[in-house]
Structure 1
Amino acid sequence: MTWSRLLSLPVFAFALQTLLSQTPVVNADKVGLKTNQIKNLVTFGDSYTDTVAISDGGRPWPDYVVQYTGINLSPFARSGATCSNNITYRPFPSLFESQLPDYFAAQRNGTVRHTPSETIYTLWIGTNDVGVSSLLTGSNGASIVDVATCMVNWVKVLYQQGARNFLFQNMLPLETTPLYAPYSWPNRYFNAPRNTSEWSVFMRELTLAGNALTQGSLQALAPTLHDAHIGIFDSHSLFADMYKNPKLYLNGTAPLNVTGAVQTCVYELDKPGSTCTTAQGSARDSFLWYDELHPSEQADRIVAREISEVIQGKSNKWTTWLS
């Protein structure tokens, strides 16, 4: 990794944002969802959305959406996933090689039967694509352009199979997670020596560039998909606001904390094992992060609250409908 590589990304992102600002906006009367239109939620993604291998120490956000809205949930997100193992390989069920085939198989065998107009599909992925053992540390020549293109292709593939309502959740500011922050420590996800400041800067540029690429591509795609509704849920801005203004979101009994985690494990480089500390009870809701990489259950409640508004057809601060 070189600083020239780091510095090229913000220039690209700025140019793309300038282009986006000149993109025509679809007629507002024809975008978004109708009130109480949606009855089914189909989720794709990684550990941030997985309802089986739960990463927040409590209940994942899709389960809270079910509680808040009464919607039917069909969860296909799997921990460790990337968009495609052909781009950034990891030995986990990726979106294109595992999750989408599983969904289409469930359609064929009748396990999943949803009316397209009453169903919304969500995707929250990218954390593993840009992180450790992937773009951040090198991934056989793959680029953020490849990853972003793959993410947008998720819409195209589902649309071709009849899906019509999509909510794309962009990458959060990963440089604020304890794993990628400049003050990071040796932890369960990476305990080798590293330049934490360089990692943090590079991660910031990867997520900004990736989000700009997907936004631009989705804006170009939306007018070409007849009867489709495509929304972007701005996870990046939501988590940046939670990080900056924790009093508006966190409500635990301990001092509010956006730099540590509910469960923190410190690995000593010259000794085997680790030392872990875990917050208990209501103190857990004082943290933005559950561990060094994953949002806390309280953060997931906020995500669920906001996405529930989208599903119910309400106006939402963090969501922009492109069609």
Structure 2
Amino acid sequence: MSTVKRLLCIAASIPMISAHPPIPTRGNSFDWDSTRYLLAFGDSYTYVQGTHGYPNFSFIGDQLNFAYDAKTLLTNKIVQNQTGTAEGGPNWVEFLTKCGLQEGLTSPLHCERQLWDFAFAGADISVEHTPLHHNYTISLVNQIAQYKQYGHPVLSPKVNPTETLIAIWIGINDINDSAKYPVHFPTFYNDLMATLFDSVHVLYALGYRSYLFMNLPPLDRTPGNQATPTPSPNATQVSWFNGALQHHADGFAAANHDANVLVYDAHSVLSDIMDHPARYGVVNTTDFCAGYDQPDIEWNYEAYGCPSPVDTYFWFNSGHLTSHVHEKMVDDLERALKRWK
């Protein structure tokens, strides 16, 4: 039966606990505890480095090297080091699956909950709406097309769709790249979501039935946006984008009665961390450590003018969250997923 699962976050006074129980649904077939596989798509908030990926951008391949064979995929390993994600350490899908957390190389095949990550750093939804950041960037639409053509035939004998969660976090680049467009933004964001869900239907046709969508973080509160009276994107744009995502997720679930559609309110959770940083071990929400990308930053942070370690900051750099913040968000996300038994 149709299930639209809104994973709503917390009231501001209680850290990391969902504010309200999910709205009752007519079906309840999703079980996080029995989920053995996570297929991830998105941008730099989600990408992990692979031994067969484009350095600093992907787990496997790029737009100029689109095809891969079974051996390449199945021997690929997640790289965990300072540059293995865009966060200086593990990101949310690694914390969620506990796959690839260890320093060094990890095969998804060796994880209890396997992480197959096809996100590409710098991705937007589609060139139909915004240009590629680089000629090798794989857009969200093309990530899914690539997976359909090359990934699914390899993984389908091994990855049972009934034990699989599709995770999609996309839109950070879209809203940043288009923030100054001379368009009616509610309509533009609706068009973006229509394109996104056309690709979600591709995954649905492959047999996948459980979907997790992450809404946008408070991008109006990046260090740069906090320093200006005219943030871009602004809070209204972020709200419109997130509203369009929810609307299309509702529509997708209504049209596909056997689909589990989970929309997680990452925006509210991350906003709560910014509003109450001490509760989460965060001391700086307005700036980032200038030496974040230096090889000795973990222990030599003071040499770069940073009064405390990088993992005490909310922002890793001008637009990414620290690994610590990813971990704190996942504390709540996993509890929310477990409620859907």
The alignment's TM-score, normalised by the length of structure 2, stands at 0.68
Q: Partner letter of residue 304 of structure 1?
A: V
Displacement after TM superposition at 1:106 (Å): 1.1
The CA deviation string for residues 126-167 of structure 1, in whole angstroms up to 9 with x for no partner, is 110011xx2113389982222222233343221122110000
Q: Which moved more, 1:138-147 or 1:36-45?
A: 138-147
TM-score in terms of structure 1 length: 0.72
Matched, 1:79 2:130: no
Q: Specify the alignment match of 1:136 in structure 2.
A: 179
- The Cα of 1:263 is off from its aligned counterpart by 3.5
Deviation of 1:113 after TM superposition, in Å, equals 3.4
Partner of 1:198: 230
Q: Paired residue for 2:268?
A: 237
Between the aligned partners of 1:288 and 1:65, the Cα distance in structure 2 is 19
User: In structure 2, do the counterparts of structure 1 residues 35 and 61 end up closer, same or farther at CA, with 3 Å as the change threshold?
Assistant: closer
Of residues 301, 309, 313, the one that matches 1:283 is 309
What is the aligned residue count? 259
- Please list every run of 5 or more consecutive structure 2 residues that lacks an aligned counterpart in the other structure: 1-21, 50-55, 57-84, 100-110, 293-302
Q: Aligned partners of 1:40 and 1:178: how far apart in 2? A: 35
Distance 1:110-1:166 versus aligned 2 partners, 3 A rule = closer
**CA offsets per residue over residues 54-88 of structure 1, 9 Å max, x none?**
11112222222232894100001110000112211
**C-alpha RMSD over aligned residues:** 2.8
Q: Matched residues in 1 for 2:94 and 2:289: separation?
A: 20
Q: Does 1:114 align with 2:159?
A: yes
Matched, 1:59 2:56: no
Query: Aligned equivalents of 1:120 and 1:86: distance in 2?
Result: 27
Task: Specify whether residues 306 and 26 from structure 1 end up closer, same or farther in structure 2 by C-alpha distance, changes over 3 A only.
Answer: closer
Give the structure 2 partner of residue 46 of structure 1: 43
- SS where residue 33 of structure 2 aligns? coil
Q: Which residue of 2 aligns with 1:101?
A: 145
> Do 2:141 and 2:196's aligned partners in 1 also have CA atoms closer than 8 Å?
no
Secondary structure in structure 1 of the residue aligned to 2:309: helix
The amino acid of 2:276's aligned partner reads N
1:177, CA displacement in angstroms?
1.1
Aligned AA (2:206): Q
| Paired residues of 1:65 and 1:71 also in contact (CA < 8 A) | no
1:263 is aligned, of 281, 285, 290, to: 290
Measured at CA, do residues 43 and 197 of structure 1 come closer, stay the same or move farther in structure 2, by a change above 3 Å? same
Cα deviation digits, residues 292-313 of structure 1 (max 9, x gap): 10001111112333333355x3
Counterparts of 1:124-273 in structure 2, within 5 Å, are 124-131=169-176, 134-138=177-181, 143-181=188-226, 183=227, 196-200=228-232, 202-250=233-281, 256-263=283-290
Kindly indicate whether residue 324 of structure 2 is the aligned counterpart of residue 298 of structure 1. yes
Distance apart, 1:27 and its partner CA: 4.2
Structure 2 SS opposite 1:295? coil
> Which structure 1 segments of 5+ residues have no match?
1-24, 184-195, 266-275, 316-320
Q: Is the 8 A contact 2:270 2:329 kept in 1?
A: no
